[in-house]
Amino acid sequence: MWVTRFAPSPTGFLHLGHVASALFGWRYAKPGGRWLVRMEDIDPQRCRAEYATAILEDLDWLGLKPDGAALYQSARMPAYARTLAELDRLGVLYPCFCTRSEIAREQAGMFSAPHTAPDGSLLYPGTCRHISGPERARRLAEGKPHVLRLDMEKALALVREKASLEAEAEAEAEAEAEAEAEAEAEAEAEAEAEAEALPARSQCGHSPHAPERTQGRRGEGQQQARIGGGTEQDHFQMKRSVWPLVYEDLDRGQVVCTPELFGDVVLARRDVPASYHLCVTHDDAMQGVTLVARGEDLRPATDLHRLLQALMGWRTPTYVFHPLLCDAQGRRLSKRDGAASVREMRAAGMTPEAVRAMAVFAGCST
């Protein structure tokens, strides 16, 4: 039974692409699991409360009722601030004072490729990473506008070191457990040998000095508990020790991550003290999402989210990706291209069943 989520940005009315995505996660969660709704509304310039209300109304009309109240990211800024503080404590954040135009100009003067990250964003050349501590402090004291970036090189080094230490600790624990089991087995064998050497004290041959035999050895039972009786958290801890970073894709199996292709990504913007990557990874962990169902366009970003999970010690969910819904010309449905909204379909007299039937993924290349 999966816990999935539908996480739209309330920048417009619900359209068929949204419905297809919502149904995709819903079908994995039902019956027996949980389907959550989360409003990714951290952008104050584009997100509007009336769109969030309309999305919830349209989902209800479609018969897609979330298991619990919708979560609004705009109300969770203190939680994101705590995550940023922890990342800063780990030494993997730094302030960047560059503007987009400055980054573009610097990129234009570079001959190396690529200049873009896997999601199409400009690859940051790392200019502010090399600013000295005193200069950085001076700019911050002057109130210079800045974003907070993840130092990718330091983050990867920290996760590698963490994985190595966890692997060493696990190997030491296993060796100690084996030594303890062997010592217990030897002690039992010696006790049994001593008991067999004593003369019989009764007709039944029972010696008051002989230890009673039990079903299996104590050490043997403990070893079984260690191997097969671990909790879900135990198994998660073992998975986190793996390097390179990986995640499970329901369709492709284990996927190896390459977050370094994103460079030093922004985790807190100038206008908002957070970012999509930070918020979505944080909330999936805090809401207990076990299956992240998302579009193919977000597949590359999953590598970056896996890195944040490793840094913060958050649980790694399983992932599954759906194709993007396209129009008759093969273009991805989007609000800015005027995709028909569920509101308009309702007004035209369509039934919820008809709208749901239309929300079928068709061959859109990604």
Q: Is the pLDDT of residue 235 over 70?
A: no
Q: What is the pLDDT of residue 220?
A: 41
Residue 292 forms beta bridges with which residues?
319
Q: What is the pLDDT of residue 56?
A: 98
Q: What is the pLDDT of residue 285?
A: 98
Report which secondary-structure segment, H or E, holds 35: strand 34-39
How many whole angstroms separate alpha carbon 92 and alpha carbon 85? 10
Q: Is the pLDDT of residue 23 over 80?
A: yes
Closest CA to 34 of 348, 287, 343, 304: 287
- Structural contact between residues 324 and 17, judged by C-beta atoms closer than 8 angstroms: yes
Question: In Å, what is the CA distance from 314 to each residue of 21, 233, 236, 286, 311?
Answer: 25, 11, 10, 9, 8
- Structural contact between residues 6 and 38, judged by C-beta atoms closer than 8 angstroms: yes
Going by pLDDT thresholds of 50, 70 and 90, the confidence category of residue 333 is: low
Q: What is the pLDDT of residue 92?
A: 98
- Structural contact between residues 279 and 72, judged by C-beta atoms closer than 8 angstroms: no
- 3-class state of residue 339 by DSSP: coil
- Structural contact between residues 280 and 305, judged by C-beta atoms closer than 8 angstroms: yes
CA-based angle 30:34:36, to the nearest 5?
A: 115
Q: What is the pLDDT of residue 196?
A: 80
- Structural contact between residues 346 and 317, judged by C-beta atoms closer than 8 angstroms: no
pLDDT, tens digit (0-9, with 9 covering 90-100), for 114-151:
578 998 888 999 999 999 999 999 999 999 999 999 99
Q: What is the pLDDT of residue 13?
A: 95
Q: What is the pLDDT of residue 200?
A: 53
Extents of the domains making up the chain = 3-78+245-261+271-358
Q: Looking at residues 48-71, what average pLDDT do you find?
A: 97
3-78+245-261+271-358 homologous superfamily: HUPs (3.40.50.620)
pLDDT, tens digit (0-9, with 9 covering 90-100), for 78-115:
999 999 999 999 999 999 999 988 988 887 777 665 57
Going by pLDDT thresholds of 50, 70 and 90, the confidence category of residue 363 is: very low
Give me the percent of the chain exceeding a pLDDT of 70.
Answer: 82
Q: What is the pLDDT of residue 194?
A: 81
Q: Is the pLDDT of residue 234 over 70?
A: no
Q: What is the pLDDT of residue 113?
A: 58
Instruction: Look up the pTM and report it.
Output: 0.79
pLDDT, tens digit (0-9, with 9 covering 90-100), for 185-228:
888 888 888 888 776 555 555 444 444 444 444 344 433 333 33
How many whole angstroms separate alpha carbon 57 and alpha carbon 68? 15
Q: Is the pLDDT of residue 361 over 70?
A: no
Q: What is the pLDDT of residue 236?
A: 37
How many whole angstroms separate alpha carbon 102 and alpha carbon 124? 10
The pLDDT mean for the chain works out to 85
pLDDT, tens digit (0-9, with 9 covering 90-100), for 253-294:
999 999 999 999 999 999 999 999 999 999 999 999 999 999
Tokens of 96: 């960047």
